[in-house]
């Protein structure tokens, strides 16, 4: 009996133990399944740079590294007659050569012109301009001087601020305006106007009359040692303001020191009638980049779109720019030096060229355009633009331009733009032909 009771007791204890083990086991927590939703991919419109960048297969490829860009510039200076290596300039210039150079810019227009008051520019007025050229003061041999600009200014056709218009009141197109000249631009100074207020000068891609008070003279070595500082910033916004002065895209600013939140930059100032280099502390910003930007198609497009909706500025008037300066300033961000004017920029600059001049019909040009890579610069007489690519059967460009023509019941209607904008390549010129029909060249600024 005792044995039977023991067995029963053992069975009960085992059953109780098993029950306690089961009841003491922690309950599995119920896991609520959470559906993780990925954020929808942003859809860009064709008016945004990312739209065109996403179409590129090689957006990050380096088109030329820094060494190759230096080689590109050196070859350009030796082969392109409108570009000049100022460092290599002869220390003097003969009277005949300098007279011809001045006359190549300062020539009396053949058509009627009007001043700011709407009055005709007459013979007496032009004679006063010619007298101020001061050609009779030139020596047989003229020693050159060196200078540097201290703020945004202009090269003018004649040593005068007086504008010259083809039409009365057509103030957007001052025909005496040659080009804007940006701060920190080294110059060769050839001579001075008779009134003493203007220099006839050369920068690397242009010559003209520049206000004397916007230039500081200095020794050749002093200026180029300053400009060619190993450390430098590049303006990568459309414009930035430094010390209440405008600095345009592509300007190289010598850098002394980078701090956590600021830069110590070097700026030329006038002191005791000589050039002095002073330090200025400025806050870091997205508008300034340490060194040149990497030369990629993505960066070309990003820089181009920073000018979108910028007002048009003939020859750089109104602190803006025109079509060829739009292209020039984009490529300055990579350290590439191009000719200033459209004709020279297209025909004379080095690079990979795509000849559209000898393609006959519009259909043939469209077929040829299919073979041209996106982010190629296109040229037609008097105008240049950046080719972005194809979308829904149309080819698109971004460019800085005054306007275009459109069909209106069989007549051509002028559509003013006066800004940088994105358009199809099929907009029309005053002749009724499309831009595509007028384009004669595509150019990629690349050397092997």
Question: What is the DSSP secondary-structure string of 154-214?
Answer: EEESSS-----BSSTT-TT--TTEEEEE-TT-EEEEEEE-TTSSEEEEEETTEEEEEEGGG
Which of these, 242, 223, 233, 232, lies nearest to 281 by C-alpha position?
A: 242
Which tokens in the block code for residue 216? Answer: 């500081």
pTM of the model: 0.90
Q: Which residue has the higher pLDDT, 280 or 169?
A: 280
Query: Confidence class of residue 192 from pLDDT cuts 50, 70 and 90?
Result: very high
Sheet order of strands, 145-149 included? 177-181, 153-156, 206-211, 198-203, 186-192, 145-149, 215-218
Average per-residue pLDDT for the chain? 93
Q: pLDDT tens-digit profile of 426-444?
A: 999 999 999 999 999 999 9
Instruction: Tell me the backbone φ, ψ of residue 202, rounded to 5 degrees.
Output: -130, 135
Picking from 149, 205, 142, the residue whose alpha carbon sits closest to that of residue 349 is: 205
Separation CA 320–CA 419 (nearest Å): 10
Which residue ranges form the domains of the chain, and what is each CATH number? 46-64+297-448 (3.90.1720.10)
pLDDT score of 22? 53
Tell me the C-alpha distance between 373 and 352, whole Å: 11
Each as own residue / partner, the long-range contacts of residues 117-121 (CB below 8 Å, 24 or more positions apart, any chain) are: 118/168, 118/169, 121/164
Between the two ends of the chain, the Cα-to-Cα distance in Å is 108
CB 147 within 8 A of CB 218: yes
Is 250 within 8 Å of 329 (Cβ atoms)?
Answer: yes
Radius of gyration of the CA atoms of the chain, in A: 32
**DSSP code for 311:** B
**Residue 5 pLDDT > 80, yes or no?**
no
Alpha helices (H) along 181-296: 220-227
Angle between helices 323-332 and 297-305 (to 10 degrees): 130
Show the DSSP H helices in 228-382 as ranges.
297-305, 323-332, 342-348, 362-371
Q: How far apart are CA 63 and CA 20, in angstroms?
A: 75
What lies within 8 Å, CB to CB, of 174 at 6+ separation is: 163, 164, 165, 314, 315, 317
Residue 361 pLDDT greater than 90, yes or no: no
> Quick check: 199 and 144 in contact, CB under 8 A?
no
Q: Say what the pLDDT of residue 426 is.
A: 95
Confidence of residue 398 (pLDDT cuts 50, 70, 90): very high
Instruction: Convert the pLDDT of each residue in 261-282 to its tens digit.
Output: 999 999 999 876 678 999 999 9
State the pLDDT confidence band at 357, using cuts at 50, 70 and 90: confident
The backbone torsions φ and ψ at residue 422, rounded to the nearest 5 degrees and listed phi first, read -95, 130
User: Residue 316 region, left (φ>0) first, then alpha (ψ -120 to 50), else beta?
Assistant: left
Task: Choose between 355 and 37: higher pLDDT.
Answer: 355
pLDDT for the residue numbered 360: 74
Give the DSSP H or E segment for 93. strand 92-94
Q: Which residue has the higher pLDDT, 366 or 333?
A: 333
Q: What is the pLDDT of residues 293-318, one digit of tens each?
A: 999 999 999 999 999 999 999 999 99
Query: pLDDT confidence of 42, banded at 50, 70, 90?
Result: confident
Using one digit for the tens of pLDDT, what is the confidence trace for 207-239?
999 999 999 999 999 999 999 999 999 999 999
Token digits of residue 310:
């910028």
Confidence of residue 3 (pLDDT cuts 50, 70, 90): low
CA–CA separation, 211 vs 155, rounded Å? 8
pLDDT at 354: 96
Cβ neighbors of 145 (< 8 A, separation 6 or more) are 188, 189, 217
Token pair recorded at residue 61: 């490829």
* 339, 361, 366 from 393: Cα distances, Å: 33, 18, 10
CB atoms within 10 A of CB 19: 10
């Amino acid at each position: 009996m005792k044995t039977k009771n023991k067995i029963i007791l053992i069975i009960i204890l085992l059953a109780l133990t098993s029950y306690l083990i089961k009841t003491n086991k922690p309950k599995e927590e119920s896991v609520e399944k959470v559906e993780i939703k990925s954020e929808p991919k942003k859809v860009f419109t064709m008016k945004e740079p990312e739209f065109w960048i996403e179409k590129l297969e090689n957006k990050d490829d380096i088109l030329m590294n820094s060494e190759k860009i230096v080689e590109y510039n050196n070859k350009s200076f030796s082969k392109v007659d409108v570009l000049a290596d100022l460092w290599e300039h002869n220390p003097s210039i003969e009277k005949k050569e300098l007279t011809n150079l001045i006359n190549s810019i300062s020539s009396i227009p053949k058509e009627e012109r009007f001043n700011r008051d709407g009055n005709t520019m007459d013979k007496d007025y032009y004679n006063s301009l010619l007298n101020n050229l001061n050609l009779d003061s030139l020596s047989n041999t003229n020693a050159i001087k060196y200078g540097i600009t201290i703020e945004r200014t202009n090269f003018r056709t004649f040593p005068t601020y007086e504008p010259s218009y083809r039409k009365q009141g057509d103030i957007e197109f001052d025909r005496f305006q040659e080009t804007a000249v940006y701060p920190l631009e080294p110059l060769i100074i050839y001579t001075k106007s008779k009134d003493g207020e203007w220099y006839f000068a050369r920068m690397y891609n242009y010559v003209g009359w520049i206000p004397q008070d916007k230039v500081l003279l200095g020794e050749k070595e002093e200026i180029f040692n300053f400009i060619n500082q190993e450390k430098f910033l590049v303006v990568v916004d459309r414009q930035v303001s430094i010390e209440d002065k405008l600095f345009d895209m592509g300007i190289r600013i010598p850098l002394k020191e980078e701090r956590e939140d600021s830069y110590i930059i070097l700026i030329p100032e006038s002191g005791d009638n000589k050039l002095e280099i002073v330090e200025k502390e400025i806050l870091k910003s997205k508008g300034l980049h340490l060194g040149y930007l990497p030369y990629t198609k993505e960066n070309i497009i990003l820089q181009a779109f920073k000018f979108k909706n910028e007002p048009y500025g003939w020859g750089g008037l109104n602190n803006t720019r025109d079509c060829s300066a739009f292209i020039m300033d984009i490529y300055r961000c990579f350290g590439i030096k191009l000719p200033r004017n459209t004709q020279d920029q297209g025909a004379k600059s080095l690079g990979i060229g795509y000849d559209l001049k000898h393609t006959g019909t519009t259909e043939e040009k469209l077929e040829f355009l299919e073979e041209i890579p996106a982010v190629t610069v296109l040229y037609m007489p008097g105008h240049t633009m950046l080719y972005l690519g194809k979308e829904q059967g149309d080819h698109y460009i971004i460019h800085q331009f005054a306007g275009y023509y459109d069909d209106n019941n069989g007549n051509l209607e002028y559509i003013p733009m006066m800004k940088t904008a994105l358009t199809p390549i099929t907009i029309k010129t005053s002749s009724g032909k499309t831009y595509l029909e007028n384009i004669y060249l595509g150019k990629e600024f690349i050397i092997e």
